[in-house]
Amino acid sequence: MTIYGPAETIELQINMESIRLAVQPGLSLMRLLRERLGLTGTRCGCENGDCGACTVLLAGVPVKSCMVLAVECAGQAIRTIEGLRDHPLQRAFTAEQGFQCGFCTSGMIMNAVALLEAHPQPDEAADREWLQSNLCRCTGYEGIRRALARARREMAEDRGG
């Protein structure tokens, strides 16, 4: 077990940039991102691990950042929605009405990024297992389902080309 002091200086790599900062050990990664770094694209929907709006990639793995302490992330690479630019999933969510209010979108896309890396081929069971951890209240999931299919197609074509 690690015993932390009242403030720990940690080094993180966030969206390919290294950053050093002192954090209280009780601070969640979600609050670090939103409140200390202004990366408000990571949304706070429940702070209980239930809604998935705060999903980011920690060492490539999707995590609910409200459930992770910032100090646990020392030395690791974190990717947030702000680190994703012109990704096929972002284009596909736009083209297929994969969002409406947009509040779940950052977390949904970040989870889907990892999903498509792990499952590049269509796989309904995997999609269901992964994306059930992200709640969307607007779309009835049709647009998200279509966006996922479109991004997969586009990424497969890119790999083929």
Partner 1 sequence: MKTFNSIGTSPLRADAAAKTGGTLRYTDDRVRPGTLQAAVLASPYAHARITAIDTAAARRAPGVRGVFTGADWPEVLIGLYLGDKPPLARGAVRYYGEPVAVVVADDEAAALAALRLLEVQFEPLPTLASPSAALAAGAAVLHPALADYRRIPAILPEPGSNVANRTRIRKGDAAAVFATAEAAGAVVMEGCFSFPPGDHVAMEPRAVLAEYGLDGRLTVASSTQSPFGVRTLLAKALGLPERDIVVRAAPVGGGFGGKAGIQLEPLAALLALRFPGRPVRLTNTRELDLLSSPGRPGLESYVRLAARPDGELLALDMDLLFDSGAYADYAVNVSRAAAAACTGPYRVPHVRVDSLCVYTNHPFATAFRGFGHIELSYATERAMDLLAERLGMDPAELRRRNAILPGDTTPTGASLDASTGDLPACIDAVRRRLDWTAGTRSVQADGKVRAKGLACFWKAPAIPTFTEAAATVSFAEDGSVCLATGVVEIGQGTHDGLRLLVAEALAMDPGLVRVINEVDTDLSPHDWTTAASRSLFMAGRAALQAVEDATGQIRQTAAAVLRCPPEDLAVGGGRVCLRDDPERGLPLAALVLGYVYPDGNAVGGPVIGRGRYIARHLSGMDPASGAGRPGLEWTMGAEGVEIELDPRDGRLRVLRSACAMDVGTVVHPALARAQVVGAMGMGIGYATREAFQFDSHEAVVNGSLRDYKILRYGEDPQYFIDFVETPQGDGPYGARGLGEQGIIGMPGALAQAVSTAAGVQLCELPLTPEYIWRSMRAARNKTEGQA
Give the shortest CB-100-to-partner 1 separation in angstroms: 4
Distance CA 138, CA 26 (A): 33
Distance CA 135, CA 25 (A): 28
48 versus 121: smaller Cβ distance to partner 1:
48
Give the shortest CB-53-to-partner 1 separation in angstroms: 6
50 versus 157: smaller Cβ distance to partner 1:
50
Name the site residues for partner 1 (rule: CB under 8 A).
26, 34-35, 39-48, 50-51, 53, 80-82, 84-85, 90, 93-95, 97-106, 109, 124, 127-128, 131-132, 134-145
Give the shortest CB-77-to-partner 1 separation in angstroms: 18
Give the shortest CB-22-to-partner 1 separation in angstroms: 16
Around Cβ 37, how many Cβ atoms within 10 Å? Answer: 17
In sequence order, the β-bridge partners of residue 79 are 57
12 versus 92: smaller Cβ distance to partner 1:
92
DSSP string spanning 88-148? HHHHHHHHTT--SS-TTHHHHHHHHHHHHHH--S--HHHHHHHHTTS--SSSTTHHHHHHH
11 versus 126: smaller Cβ distance to partner 1:
126
Pair of tokens at residue 90: 């972002």
